[in-house]
């Protein structure tokens, strides 16, 4: 009975959120609420999240699957359910921009106690899910796009990208007709205090200059520093990897994984809401550009694993982190961070002409070690004024 009451309550709130048409922060709050129980696939919390998201899809999209009612929006697969809706385009309706993020999270995670055992998954990935909803809201209530836009909420990402893989194996429209996939996973998060003004767009080079330019134009009005990084920096990390492996141009918007990652403390209180507002604005501009631009991205082949610009960008971020945030790391980790920075520093000092496959591999391993270091320590949203 309790689950049914919660389901009815969620349905009412979802209807209200649709009516208000401006609820990015409310979406995050509700999707990461204790009532959702972590949104683990197959749980009551997952069903509540599905009902909430279906409220938006019913109101603003057309279901692409066979079936009546909600079945037109549901793609069921082993132990999971994707939710998908389409906003049809006008002059190029047979070309599609795919926009997605995973709505599932975990039933068990780090730092669980008897007092707090719910894995709310606020930044992973209630925020990314809310950004997808916000883009949907803008597209559905604004000028009808020239290209059709597919909105997808993936299940079972946490189990190995299984939801997006199920979609790619049986898509409602041919993947060849998808001009780009835009992925949102971990938004409104700060790796450390110096990261409050930084976010990442990974893999845009897979769509060549058209996709790179779209992302750069979208990010330009923001005060956030959106760093473009090569696909290797997000390889296998989220659902974009499924589509890149099938030659669909992708861009993955993310804040990477900080010390709250997969812990019970990843709740609404650690979300940087001001940052999230800016990220969502960039997301809206990116999708509008792709949906209306004269050229479609073309999947690029023969790309280098990483570029000198990647190392230069990471070098700048690590240099700032060491200058401003070293006291947020345990002593041994701080020493390791400096050691790994020196590896990247050597690559930057040597210049682009000295970048070989060997030095590239060494640098990427050092950066991977840094990513692992950053996830350690006490959970903190590193919010301004905290």
> Residue 9: which CATH number?
3.40.630.10
Shared domain for 286 and 342, answered yes or no, is no
The percentage of the chain sitting over the pLDDT mark of 70, rounded to a whole number, equals 94
Q: Is residue 132 part of a domain?
A: yes
Q: How confident is the model at residue 11 (pLDDT cuts 50, 70, 90)?
A: low
Shared domain for 214 and 352, answered yes or no, is no
For all residues of the chain together, what is the average pLDDT? 95
Report helix, strand or coil for 228: strand
Shared domain for 284 and 335, answered yes or no, is no
Q: Is residue 108 part of a domain?
A: yes
> From the CA atom positions of the chain, what is the Rg in Å?
20
Specify the pLDDT at position 14.
58
Which of 107-111, 277-281, 317-321 has the lowest average pLDDT?
A: 107-111
Instruction: List the domain range (segments joined by +) for residue 350.
Output: 308-374
Q: Is residue 273 part of a domain?
A: yes
Q: Is residue 145 part of a domain?
A: yes
Specify the pLDDT at position 111.
85
Domain boundary, last residue among 266, 292, 318:
292
Shared domain for 317 and 283, answered yes or no, is no
Shared domain for 72 and 159, answered yes or no, is yes
- Asked if the model's pLDDT at residue 200 lies above 60, the reply is yes
The Cα angle at residue 215 between residues 210 and 219, in degrees rounded to 5 = 150
Q: How confident is the model at residue 1 (pLDDT cuts 50, 70, 90)?
A: very low
Specify the pLDDT at position 317.
98
Q: Is residue 32 part of a domain?
A: yes
Shared domain for 228 and 367, answered yes or no, is no
Number of domains in the chain: 2
Q: How confident is the model at residue 198 (pLDDT cuts 50, 70, 90)?
A: very high
Query: Can you tell me the mean pLDDT for 5-25?
Result: 63
Shared domain for 51 and 185, answered yes or no, is yes
Q: Is residue 253 part of a domain?
A: yes
- Asked if the model's pLDDT at residue 386 lies above 80, the reply is no
- Asked if the model's pLDDT at residue 7 lies above 50, the reply is yes
Q: How confident is the model at residue 5 (pLDDT cuts 50, 70, 90)?
A: low
If you ran DSSP here, which 8-state letter would residue 41 be given?
T
Shared domain for 59 and 83, answered yes or no, is yes
Q: What is the 3-state secondary structure (H, E, C) of 22-38?
A: CCHHHHHHHHCCHHHCC
Helix (H) or strand (E) holding 97: strand 92-102
Query: Can you tell me the mean pLDDT for 74-97?
Result: 99
- Higher per-residue confidence, 22 vs 375: 375
Instruction: Residue 237: name the closest of 259, 258, 252 by CA.
Output: 252
* Residue labelled with tokens 């020239």: 146
Query: Can you tell me the mean pLDDT for 57-78?
Result: 98
Start-to-end CA span in the chain (Å): 40
- Asked if the model's pLDDT at residue 353 lies above 60, the reply is yes
Q: Is residue 381 part of a domain?
A: no
Shared domain for 323 and 272, answered yes or no, is no
pLDDT in tens, 117-147: 999 999 999 999 999 999 999 999 999 999 9
Instruction: Quote the CA–CA distance of 251 and 162 in Å, as a whole number.
Output: 19
pLDDT in tens, 281-317: 999 999 999 999 999 999 999 999 999 999 999 999 9
Instruction: Quote the CA–CA distance of 100 and 248 in Å, as a whole number.
Output: 14
Q: Is residue 194 part of a domain?
A: yes
Shared domain for 136 and 184, answered yes or no, is yes
pLDDT in tens, 244-289: 999 999 999 999 999 999 999 999 999 999 999 999 999 999 999 9
User: Is-contact 44 9, C-beta < 8 A?
Assistant: no
Work out whether strand 178-184 and strand 225-229 pair parallel, antiparallel, or are unpaired: unpaired
Q: Where are the alpha helices (DSSP H) in 203-330?
A: 208-219, 240-244, 273-292, 308-325
């Amino acid at each position: 009975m309790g689950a049914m009451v919660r389901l009815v309550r969620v349905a009412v709130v979802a209807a209200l959120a649709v009516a208000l048409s401006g609820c990015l922060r409310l979406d995050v709050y509700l999707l990461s609420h204790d009532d959702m129980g972590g949104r683990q696939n197959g749980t009551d919390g997952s069903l509540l999240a599905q009902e909430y998201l279906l409220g938006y899809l019913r109101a603003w999209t057309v279901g692409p699957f066979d079936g009546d009612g909600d079945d037109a929006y549901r793609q069921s697969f082993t132990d999971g359910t994707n939710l998908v809706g389409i906003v049809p385009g006008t002059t190029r309706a047979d070309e599609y921009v795919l926009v997605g993020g995973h709505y599932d999270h975990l039933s068990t995670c780090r730092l669980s106690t008897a007092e707090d055992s719910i894995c709310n998954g606020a930044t992973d990935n209630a925020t990314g899910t809310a950004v997808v909803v916000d883009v949907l809201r803008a597209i559905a209530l604004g000028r009808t796009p020239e290209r059709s836009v597919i909105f997808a909420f993936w299940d079972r990402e946490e189990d190995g990208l299984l939801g997006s893989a199920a979609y790619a194996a049986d898509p409602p429209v041919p993947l060849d007709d998808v001009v780009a996939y835009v992925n949102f996973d971990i938004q409104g998060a700060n790796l450390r205090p110096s990261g409050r003004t930084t976010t990442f767009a990974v893999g845009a080079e897979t769509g060549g200059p058209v996709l790179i330019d779209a992302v750069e134009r979208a990010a330009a009005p923001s005060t956030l520093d959106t760093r473009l990084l090569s696909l290797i920096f997000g390889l296998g990390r989220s659902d974009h990897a499924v589509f890149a492996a099938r030659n669909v141009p992708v861009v993955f918007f993310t804040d990477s994984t900080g010390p709250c990652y997969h812990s019970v403390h990843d709740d609404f209180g650690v979300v940087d809401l001001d940052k999230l507002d800016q990220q969502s604005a960039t997301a809206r501009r990116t999708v509008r550009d792709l949906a209306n631009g004269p050229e479609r991205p073309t999947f690029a082949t023969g790309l280098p694993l990483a570029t000198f610009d990647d190392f230069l960008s990471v070098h700048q971020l690590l240099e700032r982190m060491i200058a401003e945030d070293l006291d947020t790391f345990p002593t041994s980790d701080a020493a390791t961070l400096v050691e790994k920075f020196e590896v990247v520093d050597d690559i930057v000092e040597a210049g682009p002409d000295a970048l070989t496959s060997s030095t590239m591999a060494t640098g990427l391993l050092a950066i991977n070690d840094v990513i692992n270091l950053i996830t350690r320590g006490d959970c903190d949203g590193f919010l301004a004024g905290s």
